[in-house]
Amino acid sequence: MKNLLFVFGLLLLFTATSLSQTDNNTKTLLIRCDDLGMSHSVNMAFKELMETGLKFSASVMFPCAWYQEAVDILKVNPQITVGIHLTLNAEWKNYRWGPIAGRDKVPSLVDSNGYFFPSRATFFANNPKLNEIEIELRAQIERALNSGIKISYMDYHMGTAVDKPELRSIVERLAKEYGLAVSRYFGEVDIESMYSVDIDNKKDFLFDLTGNLKTNQVNLLVCHIGKDQPELQAMIDMNSFGLPEMSKHREAELKALISAKQQNVFEKNNINLINYNDLIDDIGLDKMKSPVESGY
């Protein structure tokens, strides 16, 4: 009997050791795809990616004209964790959007035509008022929460909504008020984006990236997907850093993600894919920390 217990104990020790080694070798990756609702072509890319079964989080631009189609897509894909892509810029030539709150309530946030400014520089050059920024961000959150889909987190289009400490404070206060997570507030570490990688090299870049992720951290990959269709082809970024052939770049990102899923790249590289619901469950909203204060 003693020998049997001894053997059983060794077996348990071996099993525990094996699991520990597996855990130590596992990499954690959170894929966040931005700009859902921006256009029909972008929405169709998201729909195609969802159909692969890939686990990712989707950030919706609620001021944009196509957000309602995005909501309809998400209603039949409840497995997707949804966030609000807080938006204070409209950067595309001939395709602009403005505040949900209405230009009369937030005049310092818009140009003479009532549209958001295309860049952070032009936005802040207009001396936006903090109370108007809060009015608009609150309006976007309210639209999202009333859309009929579960909203879990917030992030920020072009970084504008957290560009300055006083703006970041508004976002943090609203997150606490509405019980929402904030992207990058769980210690996520940004890894290099595919966006500016050459169109023909995005797939190889992603595959190499997945093979070199660090353990013991949440790796955050922010993606921008779309379909290379006439609608998206006509959109020109008015920012100096905007990419030529943007639609081709976005479709190449989409294809790279789909290929990675179809070829089991994540499994082969021992990658645990998570979303923001997982982080909320594992860490908790009350444990969120500003990346500025935390240094990550």
Which among 95, 97, 36, 96 is positioned nearest to 231, based on CA atoms? Answer: 95
The pLDDT of residue 23: 56
Judge if pTM exceeds 0.85: yes
Per-residue pLDDT of the chain (296 residues; tens, 9 = 90+): 444 333 333 333 333 333 333 456 899 999 999 999 999 999 999 999 999 999 999 999 999 999 999 999 999 999 999 999 999 999 999 999 999 999 999 999 999 999 999 999 999 999 999 999 999 999 999 999 999 999 999 999 999 999 999 999 999 999 999 999 999 999 999 999 999 999 999 999 999 999 999 999 999 999 999 999 999 999 999 999 899 999 999 999 999 999 999 999 999 999 999 999 999 999 999 999 999 975 44
Tell me whether residue 9 is exposed, middle or buried, using C-beta atoms within 10 angstroms of its C-beta: 0 to 12, 13 to 18, 19 or more. exposed
What are the φ and ψ backbone dihedral angles of 206, each rounded to 5 degrees? Answer: -65, -45
How far is the C-alpha of 251 from the C-alpha of 227, rounded, in Å? 5
For residues 157 and 289, give the distance between their C-alpha atoms in angstroms, rounded to a whole number: 20
**CB burial readout 262-274, b (16+ within 10 A) else e:** eeebbeebebebb
Q: How many residues does the chain have?
A: 296
HEC assignment per residue over the chain: CHHHHHHHHHHHHHHHHHHHHHHHHCEEEEEEEEEECCCHHHHHHHHHHHCCCCCCEEEECCCCCCHHHHHHHHHCCCCCEEEEEECCECCEECECCCCCCCCCCCHHHECCCCCEECCHHHHHHCCCCHHHHHHHHHHHHHHHHCCCCCCCEEEEHHHHHHCCHHHHHHHHHHHHHHCCEECCCCCCEECCCCCCCCHHHHHHHHHHHHCCCCCCCEEEEEECCCCCCHHHHCCEECCCCCCCCHHHHHHHHHHHHHHHHHCCHHHHCCEEEECHHHHHHHHCHHHCCCHHHHCC
